[in-house]
Amino acid sequence: MNPWILFAFAVLYFALLFGIALYGDSRSGQRVTRRHSHYIYALSLAVYCSSWTFYGAVGTAANSGWSFLPIYLGPLLVFVFGHRLLQKMIRVGKRQNTTSIADFLASRYGKQRGIALLSTLICTVAGIPYIALQLKAVTNSITVLSASAHPALPIPDTALVVAISMMGFAILFGTRQVDVSKHHPGMMLTIAFESLIKLSALIILALYVIFVFYSGTDEFASELAAAQAFNWSGISLNFLTQLLLAGAAILVLPRQFHVMVVENTQLSHLKTARWVFPLYLILISLVILPIASAGLRLFEGSGIDADTFVLLLPLAGDQFWLTVLVFIGGFSASMAMIVITTLTLSTMLSNDAFVPLMLKRRLNESSEAVAPWLLLIRRIIIIAVILIAWLYNLLFGETEALSAIGLLAFSLVVQLLPALIGGLYWRQAHTHGAYAGMIVGSLLWFWTLIVPMLSQAGFIDQTLLTHGPYDIRWLRPEFLFGFEFSDALSRGVFFSLAFNVAAYVYFSRRAKPTLADRLQASAYVQFNEHLQSDDNRQKKKPQVKTGELISMLERFAGSNQTQRWIDDFERVNHIRLQAHDIPTADFIRYIERTLSGVIGASSARAMMHSALAGRELHLEDVVTFFDEATQAIQFNQKVLSSTLENLDHGVSVIDRDLRLVAWNRKYLEMYDYPKELIRVGKPIEALVRYNAERGECGPGEVEEHVQKRLNHWRSGTAHRFIRVRNNGRVTEIRGNPLPGGGFVTTFNDITEFVRAQDELREAKDTLEARVQQRTQEVREINAELRAEIAERERAESMIMEAKTEAELANESKTRFLALASHDILQPLNAARLYNTALLEQWPDNAILPKLESSLRTTEELISTLLEIAKLDGSTQAPSFETVELNRLFQSINDEFSAIAGDKQLRLIVRETNLYVRSEARPLRRILQNLVSNAIKYTRRGGVLLAARKRSDHVQIEVWDTGLGINESDFERIFLDFNRLDQHQQEAQGVGLGLSVVSRISQHLDHPIQVRSRLHRGSCFSLQVPLVDDVPMPKAEGPKRTIPSHQLQLKVLVVDNDRQNTDALNTLLSGWGCQVTTASTRAEALAAEPPELLIMDYHLGESLTGFELFKELKRQWGQTVNAILVTAHGDAELQQQAANAGMGYLAKPVKPIALRALIKNRQT
C-alpha cells in the first residue's frame, strides 16, 4: 500500500479528531453531549486499550495462547468487585481537588512535595517505555503496510517522523489551557470516539475473518478447538502476575487516574462505567481469538511477527478499506494513549518539579504573565518525553515485543499501589513509609528487571548476572536470595512489591504523625465514617437532651432564628418541647436538616453523630468539619454572587455603618462611577455626593440631597421613588432595611414602562373624541346601509316578480309544446302512414321513397326541436331507475341493424350483464343519436356499441370507423344547428343530434367525452353510475309466433283526427287486418270488441284514451290488447300506459315500430 495514502488518511483522521474536540469544548457541543456524558465517561476509560492491546494482545495470543487474557481480566475484576474503592478514590480526589496521581498521593502524605516528585519520577520512567511502545506500534504498522510499495516512502527514520507527529498531536490536544483541574469535555469526547473506532475496527476484522476467511462460525470453532496454542493448561504464576499488574494499572496509571478521577463530573457516571467498560474489555478479548487463529493458519512458518497479524490479514485479502480502518484503529489507540499520558506527565513534571525551581520569581506576577510560561514548559516537557521514548525505542525496541514493553511499564508504576491503597484505608500510613516503600520497590524493580535487559543489550557486563555484585551470588538479579522463578516478570513484581509493602508498613509504624498527617489521614481514611445510616443511629438511645440540641443549633444560627425554627416545628407537630426531654427521631432529623442548611449536610451529620453518641470530636474531625462548613459558606457566597450578577436590576448593599459592602454588574452599568470610588468599605455618602454633583438627584443643593438620603438610611425607613436622570432614562429606586442594620437598594430602569404609560394616557385623552367620530361614522354607515337594504328589497321584489313571470311563461310554454306536439305531429303521422301504405302497394315507385325520406327528416327535425325545448325549459330533477343495459343495447341493435346492413356496415353490439342507474328513455335517446350518427358518417367498416366497468361507474362507448373529427371541433359539434363541412356532404341532417345528446347528458349528470382521429374514426364515451344490486329477471312465458307477412287481426282504431284514422286504416288493411275506425266516444262504444285496440291519448278537450279504455272494458266485459298512440313523450305517461296494461307508441308512428309492437302484444 502506498505510504502517502496512509499519511493522508492519518492527517484527515487527525483533523476529524480535532474538530470533534473543538465541538466538545463549545457551548452547543456541551449542551448536546451532556445527556450522554455518562457513556462518554465510560468509553474514555478505554484509553487503557492502547496499541499494546490492539496489536500486542493478538501477538501474545498467537505465541502464548490464553496469556493475553489477564491484561483484560484484571481491570474487569476491579470494576466489577472494587467499585467501592473506585468510588472512594473519586470522592476523595474531588474533595482534595487533585490534578494527578502524584498530587493525590502528596496530598495524602502531609502534602509533601517530595512524595509528588518521587511519584512523578516513577510515572515518568514507567511512561517512557509505554510511549515507546506506541511509537513502535505506529512505526511497525506503516512499515508493514508500505513494505511492497513502489516507490517506497523517502523517509530514513519513520519512527522519528511518527514521534514528531505525536508531539504535535499531544501539544494541540493536551496544552490548550493552563488550569488542568478543569474538565476537558472536548478531549473526553475525542477519546470516547477513538475508543469506538478501535473497537469497531477489531470487530469488523473479526467478522471478516469468521465469515470470509473461514466459511462461518462452525469452521472457526473447529479450527480454534484444533489449535494447540489455545489449549488451556491452567493458571500459571505468570498469569497471576499479569492479572495483578493489570488490576493495579487501572488504578495507578497516570492516564487512567486522570480520566477516571480528574475528568469525572458526576459520581453517578461510575455506575454506567461499571458495566460499559467491562463489556468493552470482553468484546476486545473475544475478537482477538479469530484474528490470532486466522493469523496462525495463514502465516504459520513464515517468520512474520505475530504483532502484525491485525494488519496483514486484511492486506493479504486485498481489502483496502478494511486495511485502512485497521490502521486508523491502531493509530487511534496510540494517539489517545500518548495525548493523555503526556498531558498527565507534563502536568506532574511542571507542577512538582520544574515550576517550583524555575518560576519562583514569576509566581508573583499576574496570571496573564505566568500562563504562557506554564504552557511553554508543559510543551517542552511533552517534546522531551516523546524524544526520550523515541531513543528508548531506538535502543531497545527491536529486542522487545509490544506486550513485553507494556508489562515492563506496568511493573514499575505498580509501585504506587501500596501507598495508594494504604493511604485510603490505613490511618497510620505515614509519609516515611510512602517514601521508603516506593524507593525500595523501584530499586528492586530496576535490579531484577532492568539490569538483565541492559545486560542483554550489551550495556552491562554479563558477569553481573552470573556472579552477582562483588561475587555475592544470592544477589544475582535473576536468582535473588536464591529464588528461581519461571519468568522474569513474576520475579521482579514479587520482590519489588514485597519489599515495597514491608518498607511501607515498617517505616509508617515507626514514624510519629504530625497534626497535618493526622488531618490528611482523616480526610482520606475516615471520609465516610460520619455518614452512617439513620437506621443504625436510631437503634441507639440518644445521649443528649432536647435542650442541648437547641443550644447547639443556636451557636450556628443565633438565638432569634433558632427560636423561630423551634416555634415552626412545635406548630406543625402540635407539641411543646421540653429542654430535659429525650429528643424524638422527627426532631433529630429536623435539627440535622436545619443545621445542614447552615454548615452543610456532611458537617451537620458529623456534628449530630458526635452529639447523639455523647462523645467529643477529634481534632481532625473538627478541622474537617470546619473545612466542610467553609466550603458550604463559600458555595452559598457563590450562589448569592451569581444571583446578584444575573439580576436585571441594579443592586447595592450597605452595612449598618453606611458603608458599601456589595453591588452587582448592572448597578455599575447604570452609574458610571470612577474605579477608585467602588470598593468594599467605601462610605455611601461619597457615592451619593458624586451623583448629586452630576445632577442625578434632581434640582437642589448637593448637601441637602446627601443629608436627606443619609437620614433615610439611618432611620431604617423603607422608601421608593422614581427619578428622571440626566440621560433621559427613568429609574425606580427601592430601599429596604436589613435585619441588624444596613440597607439594600434596587435600581430598576423603567423608561419603557413610563413611556408606555404616557402613550396610554395620551390615548385615553383622545379616546372620547375618537369615539364620537367613530359614532358619527357608524351612524352615516347605518343610514347608507338602510338605504341599500331598501334598494335590495325593491330589487328582490322585482326579481321575484320576474321569476314568477318566467315560471308562468315556462308553464305556458310547456302546455303549448304539449299541444303543439300533438297538433303538429298528427298530420305528419298521417302522411307517413299513407306513404308507407303506398310503398307496400307500389314498392317500385321512385317518388315514394324520396317522400318517405323527406317525411322522416321533417319528423326528426320537429321531434328534436320539441325535445330541446322541453329540456331547456324543464326544472324537474331526473327520475333515476335501475336500467338493464343488455335490453337497451338489444333494442338499439334491433332498430339499427337493418339500416347498417343497407350501408354494408357491421353493427357490433357487445352483450353485457351490467345495470346502471339512469332514466331508460333519455339514456336510450343518447345511444340512439350516437349510433345513428356513427352509421350516417361511416362509409366502410362498422360501428361498435359496448360497455365497460370502471370502478363505481360504467363507461358506455360508441366506436366507428367513419370520417373522424378534428380536435379543434370537439366543442363545436355539440352546438345547435352545427354541422361540419365534411359531414354535410356525407349525409342529410339538421345538426341537432349531438346537441340533444349534450343536453340530456347534462340533465342526467352523465359526462360525455370524445376521442377522434381524422379519417380514422371516432369514439363517444358516456359515464353512467353502476348498480351493484342487480334485480332478478322475471320469468317469461312461451311466446306465440304469427306470420310476419300478414297479421290478420280485427283492429279498432280510435282517434279524433280523421286523417290519422284513415292513414292507420290504409296501413293496417295492407297488413291483412280488418279495421274499424272511430273518431268519437259514441262511435267507439258502438263498435264490436276487437282483437287489437289502437287509440290516441288526446280524444278531445275532456276525454283521454285511459278513460275511454276503461269504459270500453266495462262495456265489453273483457280485456283487449291495446296500444296507446300519442305525441307526448313523458315518462310518466308511458308508465301510466304500462300500469293500464296498454302498449305505448310515440307519434309520429313508424310502421316498423308499430308492426313490431303489434307482434309483441300478440305473443
pLDDT (tens digit per residue) in 62-74? 777 777 888 888 8
Which option is the CATH number for 647-753: 3.40.109.10, 3.30.450.20, 3.40.50.2020, 1.10.510.10? 3.30.450.20
User: Is 1017 strand, coil or helix?
Assistant: strand
992-999 average pLDDT score: 82
Of the candidates 499, 618, 56, 658, which has an alpha carbon nearest to the alpha carbon of residue 310?
56
Which amino acid does the sequence have at 890? Q
Q: Residue 540: what pLDDT?
A: 56
Which option is the CATH number for 1040-1162: 3.40.50.2300, 3.40.50.720, 3.10.20.30, 3.40.50.360? 3.40.50.2300
Q: Residue 535: what pLDDT?
A: 43
Of the candidates 346, 350, 358, 348, which has an alpha carbon nearest to the alpha carbon of residue 382?
346
The residues with which 1121 forms a beta bridge, in sequence order, are: 1092
Residue 242 has pLDDT above 80, yes or no: yes
Which option is the CATH number for 35-416: 1.20.1730.10, 2.30.30.170, 1.10.3720.10, 3.90.25.10? 1.20.1730.10
Range among 204-208, 597-601, 1152-1156 rated most confident: 204-208
Of the candidates 967, 912, 970, 920, which has an alpha carbon nearest to the alpha carbon of residue 945?
912
* Mean pLDDT over each residue of the chain, to the nearest integer: 78
pLDDT per residue as tens digits for the range 828-856:
666 767 777 777 777 777 677 767 666 66
Question: Number of H helices and number of E strands within the chain?
Answer: 47, 17
**What is the band of 457 on the pLDDT scale with cuts at 50, 70, 90?**
low
Which option is the CATH number for 877-1025: 3.30.565.10, 3.40.980.10, 3.30.43.10, 3.30.365.10? 3.30.565.10
CATH 3.40.50.2300: which residues of the chain?
1040-1162
Instruction: Name the one residue in this structure whose C-alpha cell is 332498430.
Output: 895
Q: Name every residue whose Cβ is closer than 8 Å to that of residue 781 and which is 6 or more positions away in sequence.
A: none
User: Is 370 strand, coil or helix?
Assistant: helix
d(C-alpha 832, C-alpha 215), whole Å: 98
CATH 1.20.1730.10: which residues of the chain?
35-416
User: Is 533 strand, coil or helix?
Assistant: coil
Q: Name every residue whose Cβ is closer than 8 Å to that of residue 229 and which is 6 or more positions away in sequence.
A: 61, 62, 63, 64, 65, 292, 296
Q: Name every residue whose Cβ is closer than 8 Å to that of residue 740 and which is 6 or more positions away in sequence.
A: 656
What cell was used for 92?
A: 476523595
What cell was used for 623?
A: 478541622
Q: Name every residue whose Cβ is closer than 8 Å to that of residue 333 and which is 6 or more positions away in sequence.
A: 49, 50, 51, 53, 54, 134, 137, 194, 198
Burial 982-1004 (b: 16+ CB within 10 A, else e): ebeebeebbbbbbbbbbbbbeeb
Strands 1142-1146 and 1050-1054 turn out to be unpaired
d(C-alpha 53, C-alpha 48), whole Å: 9
CATH 3.30.565.10: which residues of the chain?
877-1025
Residue 502 has pLDDT above 90, yes or no: yes
Residue 403 or residue 770, greater confidence: 770
Q: Residue 635: what pLDDT?
A: 61
Q: Residue 487: what pLDDT?
A: 78
Q: Residue 224: what pLDDT?
A: 72
Q: Is 254 exposed, middle or buried (0-12, 13-18, 19+ CB in 10 A)?
A: buried
Residue 531 has pLDDT above 50, yes or no: no
Distances (CA, A) of 193 to 19, 39, 285, 862, 939: 12, 11, 20, 94, 85
Q: How far, rounded to the nearest angstrom, does the alpha carbon of residue 136 sit from its chain's CA centroid?
A: 45
Q: Residue 1082: what pLDDT?
A: 85
> pTM of the entire structure?
0.52
CATH 3.30.450.20: which residues of the chain?
647-753
Range among 46-50, 813-817, 857-861 rated most confident: 46-50
Peptide bond into 151 cis (omega under 30): yes
Q: Residue 503: what pLDDT?
A: 93
617-634 average pLDDT score: 55
Q: How far, rounded to the nearest angstrom, does the alpha carbon of residue 174 sit from its chain's CA centroid?
A: 35
pLDDT per residue as tens digits for the range 364-413:
444 444 556 667 777 888 888 888 888 877 776 555 544 566 677 778 88
**Backbone angles phi and psi of 902, in degrees to 5:** -60, -30
Lowest mean pLDDT among 485-489, 594-598, 633-637, 883-887: 633-637
Residue 435 or residue 535, greater confidence: 435
Q: Residue 877: what pLDDT?
A: 77
